[in-house]
Structure 1
Amino acid sequence: MEDSGILIVMFFLILLSGLFSGSESALLSLEDATLRTMKEKKVRGIETLELLKSNPKRLIITILLGNNIVNILLPVLATVWGTTTFGDGEIVIGLVTGGLTFILLLFGEILPKNFAIINNQKFALMVAPFLYFLSKALFPFIWIFEKISDKVTPDAENLGISEAEVLAMVAMSEEHGEITAKEKIRIKNLLDFADTRVSDVMTPRTKINSISNNSTLLEVKNIFKETPHSRIPVYEESIDKIIKIITLRDIWSASEECGENKLVKNLELRSPYFVPITKNISDLFEDFQRQQIHLAIVLDEHGGTAGLITMEDIFEEIFGEIRDETDIEEQEETESVKDGVWKVSPRMTLEEIEEETGICLYANDEEKEEHSEKNLSFFILEKLGRFPRKGEIIEFEFADIIIEKIEGHAVELFRIVKKL
């Protein structure tokens, strides 16, 4: 073969190398959602593209096989051309090899891959017919490599999307305005559902409304009037020994039959359902459904009462606070007092506060990643390393947080004052 003929073949092979490299970038960066959109728009050539994407393992083998054939032929031809033109010698071979490496890196890898990623749809549609033809032409070789690959690596169909990938997609969707911050939180909560323990969701024992089994029906009625709950635990001697669960229906039925002076301990009531503090809420949710109950008593490692959890608590962990007709007296999560001043519920997360007030409480992106899902009460407790005091001011870069109201050790209300 003449020198000019070798150069023409080499030029053609460099183009093919760029084509294969670009094909790999374009086709692998083309998401299934984009492919569906193209199909809905009836883009020309989408059928061939779908055939290629339907078998990613075969597609990769086709591209790599073609690219390696090209990259093996190129050095051979370049060496023949160099020795024929300039004579045999180590210097000539070294210069030819170095020059070819530079050309392949630039025109066979960097430029085509960058171009293909930016124009992945057009590039994928352009190369699809060629790759489909090549997959048929090289089928015997592709089949051999495919069988070897099947033995060594798992089927691509069995590979799921990781939680980290889902969270990354959710974050991107929020940045582009496709979902709201609250929707992002709900998706995050769903992903965390199986790992969340009842201790993270339960009402702690200090906030449980409970009654003694020596109480009368009249006393219990008065307690029900002061609480929004429809079920209350009944204890014997102390709250660490809960023996029954009483409901509003139980009260009214017993009052009509026995009068309001009857003692609770003489009633036939439902026994409580006990769960350990380490139980996952996903497992508890299944228990609630299977046993058709709505409330469980959470026990600590010593068998004492640690808290109480309801079906509503589990729903709220995913969807946020659920309000019904009994909640109309409750304070709103945020209340604007005046410009730059808000009253804020301790239940609000830092991300929700930023969305409602525009105030960022994070010092940097690392803090945002770590604390954005935490509620304000826990964040302040963690920051101080102790229980806050009423009237105490915690300073941040863009705002001051004032402890407005405290009940026991629990903060009931915060005031946020924006710094000017």
Structure 2
Amino acid sequence: MGDGLVSSEAVPMLLCAIALVLLAGAFGGADAALGTVSQARVEELVRQRRAGARQLQLLIEDRPRHVNLLLLLRLGCELSATVLITAFCLQAIATGWVALLVAGVAMVVVSYVLIGVGPRTIGRQHPYGVMLLAAGPVRVLGRVLGPLSRLLILVGNAITPGRGFREGPFSTEVELRELVDLAGERGVVDEDEREMIHSVFELGDTIAREVMVPRTEIIWIELTKSVRQALALSLRTGYSRIPVIGESVDDVLGVVNIKDLARASVEGGAQQPIDQSVKDLMRPASFVPDTKRLDDLLRQMQVSHNHMAIAVDEYGGTAGLLTIEDILEEIVGEITDEYDQDEQPPVEQLDEDSYRVSARLPVEDLAELFDVELDDSDVDTVGGLLAQRLGRVPLPG
């Protein structure tokens, strides 16, 4: 190429490439920052009337779409800069393959330092400062380039196996769990908080049968019993809600609440003698399949304002009983109050090589505790596992 061509066209071409590299770095930093900011912190900035906070709040309300937009802008600027640098090298260097080699090496270094590592590190270290400055321009670009971004997402989903995503791919549950573990390792969340977050994820994988009070341990009262007897049973056992049964425990007719029993006892008199039948005070019972997921059951209890459910097996018999406390304990751990009796721990070490294990302990918990693999495909508890392996019902003790 001639020197005149280099001097008249190559320099502006190089300047444009530099500008595109800087823009690509800015978009990369904004991408990293947008993935780091929290909604609670942004709402606090809005209350403080910080400049750009309202625009940032609008961005994170549709975070996946704007993350994809920033990715598109960064790639567009980076590829355009690569083309311009290659053209500049072809004009400035006589040998074609040498020019391509120089352009390739230069853009690898520039992309790694000025577009990749540098801006993304700044974005993660100062996410709110970066996004308060970038929120306005990103919102404008989102309105202008929104149709193009959505079109490219549709094209990507069309050629990708599976159903795709309406707003493009985003984090999976596994990735979110890994992020929580990373936050725990860096001290962002403590161990109790990390375990609680993992428990929330596991709630959707846990079914009622795994946490219910089994049929054999249900405290119940017969329909023919009196309010006085029901109140005495409630005070003796410490339970505030007791199932009312007919002919057998498979015939659950309702639930009696200690508040109703206490009210009847206090009011007394001829109108509501406490020797009346519990039938007059019982409330309707809620029945759920023992395979119902706990997250769905918790939502159902919240909507129906019901704190107890009777779990029913596939044959229609009573399998067990659950309360809202049983579900919450799967998230926050054991909940006890001054009326709860001291319970024996599910696993108790007797000596160096001996442990006492509750028959109700889930098999997967036992396997995790002792770091062993157990075939629990047909059973849920240690008691069931022993019965399966022994071929008989083991004796208590």
Question: TM-score, normalised on structure 1?
Answer: 0.61
* Cα deviation code 1:297-344 (max 9, x no counterpart): 221121111111122222223222211122143346787889999877
**Residues paired across the two proteins, number:** 359
Which deviates more from structure 2 when the two are superposed, residues 151-160 or residues 202-211? Answer: 151-160
The one of 248, 255, 271 aligned to 1:245: 255
* CA displacement at 1:98 relative to structure 2: 3.0
1:67 counterpart residue number: 78
Distance 1:78 1:160, change over 3 A: closer
Q: Secondary structure at the match of 2:343?
A: coil
User: Structure 1: how far apart are the matches of 2:276 and 2:126?
Assistant: 80
1:80 counterpart residue number: 91
For 1:73, give the aligned amino acid. Answer: L
Mapping for residues 171-210 of structure 1, pairs under 5 Å: 171-194=181-204, 196-210=206-220
Q: Secondary structure at the match of 1:238?
A: coil
Mapping for residues 258-337 of structure 1, pairs under 5 Å: 269-331=282-344
Mapping for residues 151-166 of structure 1, pairs under 5 Å: 151-153=151-153, 162-166=172-176
Structure with bigger strand share is 1
* CA displacement at 1:165 relative to structure 2: 3.9
Which deviates more from structure 2 when the two are superposed, residues 310-319 or residues 340-349? Answer: 340-349
For 2:92, give the aligned amino acid. Answer: W
User: Structure 1: how far apart are the matches of 2:124 and 2:294?
Assistant: 44
* CA displacement at 1:277 relative to structure 2: 2.2
Contact 1:14 1:108 in 2 (8 A): no
Mapping for residues 88-167 of structure 1, pairs under 5 Å: 92-105=95-108, 107-112=109-114, 113-120=116-123, 145-153=145-153, 162-167=172-177
Mapping for residues 5-20 of structure 1, pairs under 5 Å: 5=7, 15-16=18-19, 18-20=21-23
Distance 1:348 1:178, change over 3 A: farther
* CA displacement at 1:229 relative to structure 2: 1.7
User: Structure 2: how far apart are the matches of 1:227 and 1:388?
Assistant: 34
The one of 362, 366, 370 aligned to 2:371: 362
For 2:148, give the aligned amino acid. Answer: I
* CA displacement at 1:176 relative to structure 2: 2.1
Report percent identity of matched pairs. 22
Mind listing any 5+ residue stretches in structure 1 that lack a counterpart?
41-45, 86-91, 354-358, 390-407, 413-420
User: Structure 1: how far apart are the matches of 2:6 and 2:381?
Assistant: 73
* Cα deviation code 1:27-63 (max 9, x no counterpart): 32224438969x98xxxxx969x88x95656644544
Q: Secondary structure at the match of 1:307?
A: strand
Which deviates more from structure 2 when the two are superposed, residues 2-11 or residues 289-298? Answer: 2-11
User: Structure 2: how far apart are the matches of 1:239 and 1:130?
Assistant: 64
Distance 1:308 1:409, change over 3 A: farther
* Cα deviation code 1:129-186 (max 9, x no counterpart): 99999999xx8xx986543224454899898764334323321222223333332232
For 1:147, give the aligned amino acid. Answer: P
User: Structure 1: how far apart are the matches of 2:133 and 2:229?
Assistant: 81
1:405 counterpart residue number: none
User: Structure 1: how far apart are the matches of 2:135 and 2:246?
Assistant: 77
Distance 1:59 1:262, change over 3 A: closer
For 2:96, give the aligned amino acid. Answer: I
Contact 2:212 2:322 in 1 (8 A): yes
Distance 1:76 1:386, change over 3 A: same
Distance 1:173 1:77, change over 3 A: closer
Distance 1:34 1:292, change over 3 A: closer
Which deviates more from structure 2 when the two are superposed, residues 11-20 or residues 204-213? Answer: 11-20
For 1:309, give the aligned amino acid. Answer: L
For 1:27, give the aligned amino acid. Answer: A
For 2:107, give the aligned amino acid. Answer: L
Mind listing any 5+ residue stretches in structure 2 that lack a counterpart?
46-50, 60-65, 155-164
The one of 9, 30, 38 aligned to 1:27: 30
For 2:252, give the aligned amino acid. Answer: I
Contact 2:234 2:258 in 1 (8 A): yes
